Amino acid sequence: MPKLERLEWLAPLSEGRGVTLSDDPAADLLLAEDPNALILGVLFDSQFLTRKAFSAPLKLKERMGNLNMFVLAEEDTTQLVDVFSQKPALHRFPRKFAGLTQQLALAIVVHYDGDSSRMWTDASGVEDLGSRILALPAFGVEKTNWSVGMLGKLGLLLYGGWEEYRVAEPKRSTRKAPA
């Protein structure tokens, strides 16, 4: 089973160390306390330094006043791009990640009534959780595998199997297309 990188940075929340994925104790505390911040941090951890990605939800909250998924989903796109682009930018690609943030927020609103924690608390088990995460905008196989491992390592899952869980890779057809 391949090792999931950066999970060694984590400890169960019950140890009182917070999430420890950023270099900012206030950001780590927000990640531990707000499931929406945590899932946004995972989203931002793409084409960007991990520790900066997981600090970005705190900066977004400071600029927006909250991390309410209903508000983020309905925010004027131009305004959200401006929020992401303010110096220091929230992401290396502010326009792209402002749009992905809105897409993710809308998915969380539609499927989990704006509460990201319902993704894992309402899941029937690790396979269901993996399917829920994989269905999110911009969450592929690797991000899904890592997210399941992160949630398990933090002690947020009420079921086992997360240590061994990996999304089944889609099978590729060996048939040749007709000429």
Domain extent listing, the chain: 19-153
Q: Please list the ranges in the chain whose pLDDT falls under 70.
A: 1-12, 14-18, 169-179
Q: What is the pLDDT of residue 23?
A: 85
Longest CA–CA span in the chain (Å) reads 62
pLDDT confidence of residue 49: 86
Task: Tell me if 104 sits within 8 A of 67, measured CB to CB.
Answer: no
Task: Using alpha carbons, list the distances in angstroms from residue 18 to 59, 79, 160.
Answer: 18, 31, 22
How confident is the model at residue 101, as a pLDDT? Answer: 98
Residue 1: predicted pLDDT: 44
Report residue 15 CA to chain centroid gap.
22
pLDDT one-digit tens code per residue, 53-93: 999 999 999 999 999 999 999 999 999 999 999 999 999 99
Please tell me the pTM assigned to this model: 0.88
pLDDT of residue 47: 85
Per-residue pLDDT at 178: 52
Quote the CA–CA distance of 154 and 173 in Å, as a whole number. Answer: 38
Q: Which fold has domain 19-153?
A: Endonuclease III; domain 1 (1.10.340)
| C-alpha 121 chain-centroid distance | 15
Torsion angle, CA of 113/117/122/128, rounded to 10 degrees?
A: 110
